[in-house]
Chains A and B, each alone.
Chain A
Amino acid sequence: MSITVSPATTAAVEQTAFGDDAIDVVESWVASTDHRRLGRLHLGATLLLGTVGAVLFAFVAQRVDAAVRGDLGTGRWLGESADAGFSFGRVLSFAQQGLIVVVVAPMFLALASIVVPGQIGASRLAFPRLHAFVVWSYAVGAALFVTSYLVVDGPPSVDLLGSVSGLTSGKPVNKATDLLVASLAVVAFSTLLGAINIFTTVLTHRRAGLSLEQVRPFTWASFVTAAVSILTIPVHLSGLLLLYIDQHFGGTFALTDGSEVIWSHMLRFTTRPEMYLVLIPALGLVGEIVVSRTGRSLLGGHVASYLVATAAALSLFAWLGGATSGDSFIQPTNRWFTSLIVLPVGMLVLVWLGSLAGGLRPDASLLGAVGVPLLLVLAAVNVLVAAARSLDASTQGAVWTIGQVVLLAVAIPALAGVAGISELSPLALGRSLARPIAGLATLAALGGGVLTVVGFAALANRDDQSSSAPALSAIMMLGGLLLAAALGITLLGLLSASRTTGSTDAAHLLPFSEETN
């Protein structure tokens, strides 16, 4: 069997030798339009920010119990001291916004930019210079995002119940809010351009004879995600425009009746399609791992592709959801259209499990492929328990929602991402990640997801909300720290693998259907 390796695939594994002139090294990165080199930079930046964000989330998780009891001021960490400038709500906002908008979504985009061209037989992305612009504008946006939270006054924050505080209308304009709006706009615009690049590459740069239905699972998932992102990210940008005008021209958007709904659908993740959309590449990565580890196509042929596309299309119904934290999550009894996502995702889990039956080539990534369905089942059980218990929509519902959002939009994508990077590292980096590193990272991501959701769910379902629960706080904090460890270890693995030259494993380059035919 002859395998086609694109020129960039072999060229891009060349590494800069130690001892080169520093300026040449910097120039080679800054001026590069090589999708793999830029993608590695992009991926490394998202993993670094993800590690920081997850550590911050761990500290927030440790204080959620105190926030529920209204006893934040007495804690050692994140006390409500106005002078400190780091209130609980602000760090919560930073961790939630940062992890989802600035880490998870760009992480998948970065991985797609490295892997997709190779998987469709192209030598490059459709627009290499645009890709360079995407990576560097992401870096600027991420830096502005972090800076906005370091300003003493700080941007508006979302408290435990989802209420926005610290947002003022009219002058004087809060500079931190300006920075936040600018940073989110830059990151969103960068992600939008990246999505257009991936969408165009898959549509127009496939090797002759390779149909759209034949592409590998991760490429398909990236294509679908890019298509839906093109429709959803502009709506987020519209929200940022409204916020900017509100802040600068004395508008009353933030104070108007009904503004909470607009806030939710445009700026907060709980009722935006992106909340579900970050799951789609994760589903594609699991499919990719299953295909690679079993050496067979997924059960049911193209059914898995259609299920992924259906889940992505259904995510658009998130705009029809409610505004408050309590009624915006995925309780089946609340929002029928959005909760229909459960059906394709559930069927996809069955497809994976059915495909895994038979001979396997075990690897650390396989643990992730098994762990993601496990966490999805955990999420479903969490929903059923919450529905049966009829949680109080304010405090209990808010705590439950944070746990569920972190599970679905951070932990599951992080686990799939860590396992996927491990699986695709031969294609992405030129060599495999070291097995202990990949195994440790995957285990940490899985453990982090389980502990986080169990801790939040137990706290939300507790009958006595007035007493403290130090054990649950410790569990939630440990969950956050494990997630941080997973991302950090993967980053170290990425750096370590990038320093050495290796041969490219061509197994991930071919469309799977051609491998078996």
Chain B
Amino acid sequence: MATTPAPATVTGRATTPTLVACLAGSAAVVMTGAGVGGAYAYTRYALRRANPGEPFFPSSMPFNNYAAFIVFATFGLASLAVGWAITSLRVGNRRWAGGGFGFAILANLAAANIIWFIGNQWEGAANALPWWLHSYALLSVAGASCAIALGASVLGLARVITAQSTPEEPHAAIGAAWFQHSALVVWTIVYSLIFLYK
């Protein structure tokens, strides 16, 4: 049998490795949040079944609904900003694309700060209760997804500045957007669970 070398890579496909990997990574981030969220929901269910009438989330504990909503809005703004960045990139406007990623970076920093603030409010308060652990775990996952989104936005900005992301090659920027959206999804899970079960 004759053997001939194959081309090193396959070109011309609609999907690129970067985009597929970012999509898979975003799915993993969301599933991490869903995993802790599921544990949170089940613990609440089990405790309510074992001790009917007792509140799961103590009424005396501070839960800053305003701060939590601000995080939600900030992640939403960051998602819009990366969408704006990608749209600008597609039409060849690098300056606006850089601005979009820059705004997303600032929004992520603000969100991380508020998440830290919420965590500090809970610190040391009735930490023997199960909700405390799960709520902290939820905040940790949300913080981690925020950090990943922040890193992705920084990389996205760097690629725009160095002209590695172009209208022809926008996939890394789209990947960064996927991570930003996953941070929003994770916070939606966190916020809705704590808000519903409070």
**Residues of A with Cβ closer than 8 Å to B?**
1-7, 121-124, 126-127, 192, 195-197, 199-201, 203-208, 230-239, 241-242, 245-246, 249-253, 256-259, 261-262, 265-266, 319, 506
Is the beta-carbon distance between B137 and A127 smaller than 8 angstroms? no
Is the beta-carbon distance between B27 and A230 smaller than 8 angstroms? yes
Question: In the complex, what distance in Å separates the CA atom of A126 from the CA atom of B15?
Answer: 12
User: Contacting chain A: which of B90-98, B104-112, B123-131, B159-167?
Assistant: B123-131
Residues of A within 8 A of B17 (CB): 126-127, 200-201, 204-205
Contact (A239, B35) CB under 8 Å given A2-B4, A4-B5: yes
Max chain B CB contacts within 10 Å: which of A204, A208, A231? Answer: A204
Question: In the complex, what distance in Å separates the CA atom of A6 from the CA atom of B6?
Answer: 5
CB distance from A199 to the nearest CB of B (A): 6
Let me know if B3 is at the binding interface, CB within 8 A: yes
Contact (A234, B42) CB under 8 Å given A6-B6, A250-B127, A251-B132: no
Quick one: CB contact mask for B1-12 with A, threshold 8 Å, 1 for yes? 111111111101
Residues of A within 8 A of B34 (CB): 234-235, 238
Is the beta-carbon distance between B136 and A249 smaller than 8 angstroms? yes
Residues of B within 8 A of A196 (CB): 21, 24-25, 28
Residues of A within 8 A of B50 (CB): 257-258
Is the beta-carbon distance between A234 and B47 smaller than 8 angstroms? no
Question: In the complex, what distance in Å separates the CA atom of A237 from the CA atom of B6?
Answer: 39
Is the beta-carbon distance between A207 and B32 smaller than 8 angstroms? no
* Further pairs besides A238-B39, A257-B47: 11, Cβ < 8 Å: A2-B2, A121-B10, A201-B17, A204-B17, A206-B10, A208-B12, A234-B31, A241-B32, A241-B141, A245-B137, A256-B43
Is the beta-carbon distance between B6 and A200 smaller than 8 angstroms? no
Query: 8 Å CB contacts to A: which residues of B137-153?
Result: 137, 140-141
Q: Which of B12, B35, B39, B140 contacts A234 (CB 8 A)?
A: B35
Question: In the complex, what distance in Å separates the CA atom of A246 from the CA atom of B12?
Answer: 49
Residues of A within 8 A of B30 (CB): 234
Task: List the A residue with the shortest CB-CB distance to B45.
Answer: A258
Q: Which of A4, A195, A197, A262 contacts B42 (CB 8 A)?
A: A262
Q: Which of B4, B129, B130 contacts A5 (CB 8 A)?
A: B4
Task: List the B residue with the shortest CB-CB distance to A206.
Answer: B10
Is the beta-carbon distance between B20 and A203 smaller than 8 angstroms? yes
Residues of B within 8 A of A126 (CB): 17, 20-21
